[in-house]
Amino acid sequence: MDDLAQFKQTFFAECEELLGDLEGHLMALQSGEGDNNTLNAVFRAIHSIKGGAGAFGFDRLVAFAHIFETVLDLMRDGRLEPTPDSVLLVLHCADILSDLVRAAQTDTELPADHENEGRKSLIDLAATVGVNA
């Protein structure tokens, strides 16, 4: 196995762990047990996935994660309330992010519009507080 393939394998193993952690943190937020530390952990997971994806040129994954980060930043700094509806949206977007990771891992192409609904929902949510995502 060449070095690049080994680095990718490591990246995808880390993604799997981060996505598992992400789901747990989001479930805590949804049940009302989460706090600012939980939001920070969610942000860090998305940020780490985005950083690795950028290193390997997974542009769709990076673009989606960037908008996702924007909404999480708004929640972390208190401009956007993590309501049951917004957390449900974030959970849905975590599933989309997971789909994008798996597609990159298996070198398969998802439909071109796969993440469009989630992206639009995140952008619309950020716009409720006057932020262009």
112 inside domain? yes
Assess if residue 132 is contained within a domain: no
For position 1, what pLDDT does the model report? 73
Instruction: Please name the helix (run of DSSP H) or strand (run of DSSP E) that holds residue 122, with its range, or none.
Output: helix 116-127
pLDDT at residue 3 in the model: 87
Residue 133 domain flag: no
Q: Are 80 and 123 in contact (CB under 8 A)?
A: no
Q: What is the mean pLDDT of residues 120-132?
A: 96
40 — pLDDT class (breaks 50, 70, 90): very high
Q: What CATH number did the domain enclosing 123 receive?
A: 1.20.120.160
Average pLDDT over residues 22-29: 94
Q: Note whether residue 15 is domain-resident.
A: yes
Tell if the pTM clears 0.85, that is, is over it: yes
CA distances from 35 to 11, 92, 122 (A): 28, 20, 21
Terminal Cα distance for the chain, rounded:
39
Is residue 124 over pLDDT 90?
A: yes
Band of pLDDT at residue 2, cut at 50, 70 and 90: confident
Q: Tell me, what's the pLDDT at 85?
A: 94
Which CA distances in Å does 86 have to 14, 34, 130? Answer: 26, 14, 16
- Residues 75-123 have pLDDT tens digits of 999 999 999 999 999 999 999 999 999 999 999 999 999 999 999 999 9
Asked if the structure places residue 26 within a domain, the reply is yes
Specify whether the CB–CB gap between 127 and 133 falls below 8 A: yes
Residue 93: domain span: 3-127
